[in-house]
Amino acid sequence: MDKSAANADRDGICDLTRRLAAGDEEAFRIFHAAYFDRLLRYVFVIARGDEEAAREAVQETMTRVVRYARPFDSAEAFWSWLTVLARSAVVDRGRRSQRYWRLIRNYALWWKPHQNEGRDDRETEDYLQQLLLDGLSTLEPVDRGLVQKKYLEGLAIREIALEVNLTERAVESRLLRARRQLREMLLKRLNDETRF
């Protein structure tokens, strides 16, 4: 790369990151278009080929870029910062997932001896399924439909996006929000019931 090209690249990154730090929406669109796929490829390797985990981690990385953006003098320094954000998003997602499943497992272990007399495993499973259905009913209709298509019908993100006329990224973002909302509702209900 000649000196003028290097200066142009440096000036482009300086301008882009300065605008990101200032909250410029157009700069974020430019950043997203330029870096989303590159970050996804990077995170896909870190997430050991788990595409859903990789996409969620990249979405979290994008959120962190919006929140913590600052000016950079070079593309290399900016990319290094992005990879740190992405790696921490993968690690954080793994920790949250482990905590969530540990909580569910512990709840299941607690629930078994505290069941009402005569309630069998099938009744317990039915009860937990009813909680999930109650949670689904609290979601916006669009989000409820997306959750049903993804987790009940087993459709891929691409298929869902085509079916509901949204971008794949929009579907992923809505699913992430819906899962969080469901998890919070379930944990609140289970926690409320353990008090009595």
**Residue 123 scores a pLDDT above 50:** yes
Copy the structure tokens of residue 106. 């512990």
pTM over 0.75: no
Total domains present in the chain: 2
Residue 102 lies in a domain: no
Q: Based on the fold, state whether residues 120 and 88 are members of the same structural domain.
A: no
pLDDT tens sequence across 96-119: 555 555 555 555 555 445 444 455
- Asked whether 154 and 168 are in contact (CB, 8 A), the reply is no
Q: Based on the fold, state whether residues 85 and 22 are members of the same structural domain.
A: yes
Q: Based on the fold, state whether residues 136 and 88 are members of the same structural domain.
A: no
Residue 173 lies in a domain: yes
* Inter-residue long-range contacts of 113-120, CB under 8 Å, 24+ positions, other chains counted: none
Residue 32 vs residues 25, 65, 195: alpha-carbon distances, Å: 10, 10, 46
Residue 33 lies in a domain: yes
Q: Based on the fold, state whether residues 169 and 120 are members of the same structural domain.
A: yes
Residue 99 lies in a domain: no
**Residue 23 scores a pLDDT above 80:** yes
Phi, psi torsion values for 175, nearest 5 degrees: -65, -40
pLDDT tens sequence across 72-100: 999 999 999 999 999 988 887 766 555 55
Q: Based on the fold, state whether residues 7 and 80 are members of the same structural domain.
A: yes
pLDDT tens sequence across 31-69: 999 999 999 999 999 888 888 888 888 988 999 998 899
Residue 149 lies in a domain: yes
Q: Based on the fold, state whether residues 123 and 86 are members of the same structural domain.
A: no
- Asked whether 58 and 43 are in contact (CB, 8 A), the reply is yes
Q: Based on the fold, state whether residues 123 and 77 are members of the same structural domain.
A: no
Domain boundary among 57, 92, 127: 92
- Asked whether 85 and 98 are in contact (CB, 8 A), the reply is no
Helix, coil or strand: residue 54: helix
Q: Based on the fold, state whether residues 80 and 8 are members of the same structural domain.
A: yes
Any idea which residue has 């499943």 for tokens? 101
Q: Any residues with CB less than 8 A from the CB of 20 and at least 6 apart, and which? A: 27, 28, 31, 65, 66, 69
Domain of 62 in residue numbering reads as 3-92
Give the CATH number, domain containing residue 123. Answer: 1.10.10.10
- Asked whether 37 and 78 are in contact (CB, 8 A), the reply is no
Copy the structure tokens of residue 188. 């609140």
Q: Which residue, 20, 31, 30, is CA-closest to 66? A: 20
Q: Based on the fold, state whether residues 7 and 87 are members of the same structural domain.
A: yes
- Asked whether 181 and 139 are in contact (CB, 8 A), the reply is yes
Residue 50 lies in a domain: yes
